[in-house]
Amino acid sequence: MNALETRNTYGAIETNPIGSGYHNIDRSITIGWDDSRLGRITRLRLISDFGYPFWDVSYCHGELKDGTPCRIRLPFSELPKGRALRATIIEAARRDGIYAKGLGIFDAISSLI
């Protein structure tokens, strides 16, 4: 495990854990990741099992340019583990005409395995 990983009481390993109250924030607005109102992605939650080669996308949250929290619809529901994860996100972003790194998606990844 690295400094950003924790092991919970059930033995699961989590990267970039969140504090309490995070899920109490009103995110009643849902937009696509290619919506021009999107300012940044704040959390991309990925879940998987040991030995399974893909991550399931649990949810994606972000903020509009005015700071309003929102849910984000992504063009994928699973991503490959390993190096192909970043490449798959970049490829999908290029297809949709957006700059994934500029949205902060790579800094917002949180995983649970």
Query: Is residue 9 in some structural domain?
Result: no
Residue 43's domain spans which residues? 25-112
Reply yes or no on whether the pLDDT at 38 is more than 70. Answer: yes
The structure's pTM equals 0.86
Query: Is residue 63 in some structural domain?
Result: yes
Query: Is residue 87 in some structural domain?
Result: yes
Q: What is the pLDDT of residues 17-27, one digit of tens each?
A: 887 788 888 99
Query: Is residue 12 in some structural domain?
Result: no
Query: Is residue 67 in some structural domain?
Result: yes
Q: Locate tokens 């059930």: which residue?
A: 10
pLDDT of residue 5: 56
Instruction: Give the C-alpha separation, 9 to 43, whole Å.
Output: 23
pLDDT of residue 7: 60
Query: Is residue 4 in some structural domain?
Result: no
Domain count, the chain: 1
Confidence of residue 13 (pLDDT cuts 50, 70, 90): confident
Query: Is residue 7 in some structural domain?
Result: no
Query: Is residue 19 in some structural domain?
Result: no
Instruction: Give the C-alpha separation, 3 to 40, whole Å.
Output: 24
